[in-house]
Structure 1
Amino acid sequence: MSLTHEANRSAKVGKPPRRPQSKRPSRKAAETRAGYAFLAPWLLGFIALTAGPMVASLYLAFTDFHPIRGGEWIGVDNFTRLFDDPRFLDSVQVTVTYAVVGTPIKLAAALGVAMLLNNRRRGQGTYRSLFYAPSLIGASVSIAIVWKAMFNDQGIVDDIGDFFGTWQGGWVGDPSKTMPMMILLTVWQFGAPMVIFLAGLKQIPGELYEAADVDGAGPWRKFTRITLPMLSPVLFFNLVLETIHSFQVFASAFIISGGRGGPANSTLFYTLYLYQRGFGQGQLGYAAAMAWLLVIVVGIITLIFFRTSRYWVHYTGEGR
């Protein structure tokens, strides 16, 4: 039956003629293929550089693998050996101390400076840039070298202390001072959380502070009753990120200790010891087990943060 005859027949019964089906692919299918084509480089990179190495390291964690002599399957022996390793326990203690002490001080410094910069004043943009600059360069190898030179014996910190009659004798070689030195380094890099805090402070309605002024509330009461509750989502975000970062510190500890974690294992951070085992001693299976244990611990800590956030994180418009 011809198309013309079908059209005439459809017109007689009051129905529109059927259009011939196109053999071209639909526009939606074409857009889908184009999307996958644009995603392909990222997908290949993710598989080759992230997912693939993760699967390989998970396999290595259950083997006694050496890059030269190969390896054999040993099950969970690597994980059980960890807790019999005194240097591993030292690295856990150093990292936990750094995270528990350094992270709150860094967030407190970031919040304090953000509150100061939240007030309008001349040169405000310059001040923000100056305070943010250490976060751009603080994690580099060059800054770690400078930091080591500053706190070394006869460094600038010793010179300043000697000028005021409190000569220190060098922080780098003193096990009791290396942790404060590392914490000062991370606190000095408070620019990133400071910017996030500053953005959160801008979102707090000024009417709340005006109402508090009418009620006669002081600065501390306004801070605890208005600023902290309204800023709690931002504080939660910064707390999670900075805690994760504190467990990943490596470059500064490697440079300052010369890759040894000394003196007396006082700078033997978890990732530094992992590096020593995996790339210094060739125990890739042991290092992989350490890496996966770190992933599990950080995941548990993050889960705890999210579970407990319901008790202290308050969102605008949230029903109570």
Structure 2
Amino acid sequence: MKDKKIVITGAGRGLGRALAIVAADQGAIPLLLGRSEEALQQVHNTIKSRTGISAPTFVCDLSDTTSVTNAANHITYSHPNIDILVNNGAHFTEGAFEKQSTDQVVSVVNSAVTGTMILTKELLPLLRQRSHANIHNVVSMSGLPYARLTGASLPFRAAKAAQDGFTQGLVEELHGSSVRITSVYPGLIEDVSPTDEAWDKQRDLSEGITNKDVVDTILYALCAPSNVSLRSIVIELNGVEVTNTNIKPPTGWTVKYEDFGSESEWGEDGEVADLVSAYGISGEVRPLFRTRYSGNEVIFIVEINSQYYVYDGQSGWVQRIVTPTDLREIVEFINEQGWFRLETENLG
């Protein structure tokens, strides 16, 4: 990575920020693109203080084609010798489809699809001039046909599916050229920073995927020999994924792996699945949060087919949560009023 110029979208926060810092640690020169000049400047300052490298910043809103074109023009003029483009930025929304505003839908699709394609098209001539260049797209497991609709909104999932189609088409179109196309498909990611102690923490099977896992994978793909193309890398948790949400549980509830029981209990043919099917519900049962009340009674919030339910692990009853319908709102409601005040519907 030494002396490579790497353009990174969404570089002001999260995964893009982490990738920029680590790439600079390895000697690369990041070109930082993002919506917030203030956030980009903070990343610039962090990189400068750690490495002495000056990472140029470019304000770029991927949902605005004029902003994208302007950023591409500035890069073409000031840094025509780029080596790598990492398409990481995208607007994220969650919640039910009917609750998404028109502006949200347009923003999500434009940033992940239109903006990404335009930026790639504008910078491709620069990359073609290099003897060896890379375009790396950070897609998402949400863009895969078999992915569960978890956390992310339907517009985000649709946009990521389109981004996946663009990625695979680009692989075919540029096959045999000096520009290599690689991509990663991470699931939900815990946001940790290279500037924090948590970055180097050794994690076990009870803990989820972090920015570090994805950054390490991206850099591995980019540093592979030029005759090797790691076309698509799906990043999943290596273990029993009993819970898969980046939402902090309600106060007094837990998401700890060991508190959910065995894989067989929650599996497709497990005890809970059999119980739920007896209520006339079909679909994978995904435990999210767990708590105890009134002695040894165990209560779970679970997700089935993008709907949320209360499940009593002792007596075996299941109730559908009528309102709120959004998981974050459910957590807020429980914190304020208690889970027993949720509006629920008896089943069976």
Higher relative contact order (CA 8 A, sep 6+): 1
Larger Rg: 1
Q: Normalized against structure 1, the TM-score is what?
A: 0.24
Q: Which one has a larger percent helix, Structure 1 or Structure 2?
A: 1
Higher strand share: 2
TM-score w.r.t. length of structure 2: 0.23
